[in-house]
Chains A and B, each alone.
Chain A
Amino acid sequence: MNFDYTFHWRPVFRKLPELLEASLVTLQVSVLSMIIGIAIGLVLALLRIGGPKPLAWVASGWIETARNTPALFQLFFFSFGLGAFGLNLTPYLIVLMGLSFNNAGYLAENFRGGFQAVPDTQLRAARSLGMSSAQAYIRIIIPQVFRIVYHPLTNQLVWAVLMSSLAMIVGFRELAGETQAQAFKTFRIFEYFAVAALIYYVMVKLILGISRLLAWRLFRY
C-alpha cells in the first residue's frame, strides 16, 4: 500500500463561501419542491381516495412511478424525456420538477393515510354543528391530518435535501454540483466532498432540530 497522498484543505476552505452559498440553493430548491409537492400530493391523495375513475388512475400512475423508480430515473425523464418533445428545460427546472414529482408521489401516500386515520365521525360531528363541508375540512379534518403527516413531512424534506444532490448529474450547481465543479478544477476531490458531506449533515440536523422545536410549539395536545 503506497500512501503518498497529502491532504490539502486550504483550497477547500478558501472556496467555503461558494459552497455555503450553494447550500442555500440546495435549501431553496428543496423547500420549493416541498411546497409544490404538498399541493400536488394533496390533490393526488384526494383523487386516489375518491376521484372519478380516469383521474384516480392518473393519480395512481404518478404515485407508483414516483415510488417505484429511482429518483435519478425521474430526473432523466425531465431532462432527456421532455427533450424528446423539444422541451429543453434549464437544469434548475429539471431538478425542481424532478424533486416535486417525487415529493408529490410520496406525500400523496402519507396524506392518504392521514385522511383515513381521521374517523368519519369527526366530519359528522362538525357537520351536525352546522359547519359547511369546507369549514369542517379546514377547521377539523386538515389540522388533524397535518399532525399525523407532520413527521413524514419532515422526513420527506430531509429526503428532498439529500435527493437534490442528484442535480450534480444534470449539471445544476447546488451544493453537490458546486462541489463537483470545484473539485474537478483542483483535483482535491476527497477534500471537497468531505466538506460537502459535513455541510449536508449539518443541514439535515438543523432541519430535524427546527422541526422538533416547531412540533413542540404546534402540538400541545
Chain B
Amino acid sequence: MIEIKELHKYFGDLHVLKGIDLNVEKGEVLSIIGASGSGKSTLLYCINGLEAIQKGEVKVDGVSVHAKETNLNKLRTKMGMVFQQWNSFPHLTALENVALAPRIVKGRSKAESREIARAQLEHVGLNDKIDVYPSALSGGQQQRLAIARALAMEPEYMLFDEATSALDPELVGEVLDTMRLLAEEGMTMICVTHEMGFARDVSDRVAYFHEGVMEEIGPPDQIFNNQKSERTAKFLANVR
C-alpha cells in the first residue's frame, strides 16, 4: 500500500505540490488527470524517491521513502516506472535492456535474468524483437520495451508518467492495450495520463489535480459524469 500524507514539494520558490493526502491500495488502478504543470508527474517522482520532498511523508508498504535510513535502491525495485520519453538504453539490445537490472540489482544469474527478460518481452508482445537495438524499434515498441524492463524487476506497483504522450497517435493504442492487460492481471498502478478513455474504462479511481492540489478523487463515474467540483467539470468540458 502507498500512503501519502500532507506532501509538499517546492522547486525553488515554486510550490508544486500543496499538501497531498492519498492512499493507494494493493490491486487498485488509479489514474491522475489534470493540466500540464498541475504537479501530477512530480507526485510520481516523489513516490519513488527520484525527487526530494520538503514536507510530509510518502510510505510504501510501511517504509518511508524519504527517510535517511531507507535503502532507496532496494525500495525502487518494488516500483516499476515508465516515462513519457521511453528512455530505452540505446547501447543494449531489447533483451539486454530488460535483463540488465535483474542481474546487477537483484543478483540473478545471467541465464536466469535472460529467461526473465524473454518472458517479459513475450508478455508485452515483443518476442520477435529480442536481439534488436532500440533504434530499430518504433516509439510504441520502445515504450512496451520500457514496460517489460520495469516488469522484469517483479514490481508490486507500476507508475506510468504520461506513457503515451510522446507517441504518434497511431502508436498509442498498442501501449494502452499493454497497460490494460496489466490492470486485468491485478497490478497496482498509478497512471498519470491524458487518455480520458483509458482513465474511465480501466481505473478504479480517478484523481483530478489542479495547480498542485488534488481537487477531486473518486470512481470514474463520479469524475466523468457527476463531478463535485466546478473546476473538475470545467477541465473535462475543455478536454472533450
B133 and A140 within 8 A (CB): no
Residues of chain B contacted by A119 (CB below 8 angstroms): 85, 87
B91 and A144 within 8 A (CB): yes
Query: A15: CB under 8 A from chain B?
Result: no
Which residues of B in the span 78-116 have a Cβ within 8 Å of any Cβ on A? 79-81, 83, 85, 87, 89-91, 100-101, 104-106
Residues of chain A contacted by B50 (CB below 8 angstroms): 124, 127-128
CB distance from A141 to the nearest CB of B (A): 10
Residues of chain A contacted by B29 (CB below 8 angstroms): none
Which residues of A in the span 45-70 have a Cβ within 8 Å of any Cβ on B? none
Q: Determine the residue in chain B with the shortest Cβ distance to A128.
A: B81
CB distance from B136 to the nearest CB of A (A): 9
Q: A3-11, A25-33, A129-137: which lies at the B interface?
A: A129-137
In Å, the complex CA distance between A131 and B73 comes to 6
CB distance from A151 to the nearest CB of B (A): 16
Query: B48: CB under 8 A from chain A?
Result: yes
Query: B77: CB under 8 A from chain A?
Result: yes
For chain A, which range describes its interface: under 10, 10 to 19, 20 to 34, or 35 or more residues? Answer: 20 to 34
A139 and B90 within 8 A (CB): no
CB distance from B131 to the nearest CB of A (A): 10
- Given A129-B101, A129-B150: A124 touches B73 (CB 8 Å cut-off): no
30 contacts between A and B (CB under 8 A): A119-B87, A121-B87, A122-B89, A125-B87, A125-B89, A127-B50, A127-B73, A127-B76, A128-B79, A128-B80, A128-B81, A128-B83, A129-B76, A129-B77, A129-B80, A129-B101, A129-B105, A129-B149, A129-B150, A129-B153, A130-B73, A130-B101, A131-B73, A131-B101, A131-B104, A135-B104, A139-B100, A143-B91, A144-B90, A147-B91
The 7 A-B residue pairs with the shortest CB-CB distance, nearest first, are A125-B87, A221-B133, A128-B81, A130-B77, A129-B101, A130-B76, A130-B105
Q: Which residues of A contact B (CB under 8 A)?
A: 119, 121-122, 124-132, 135, 139-140, 143-144, 147, 219-221
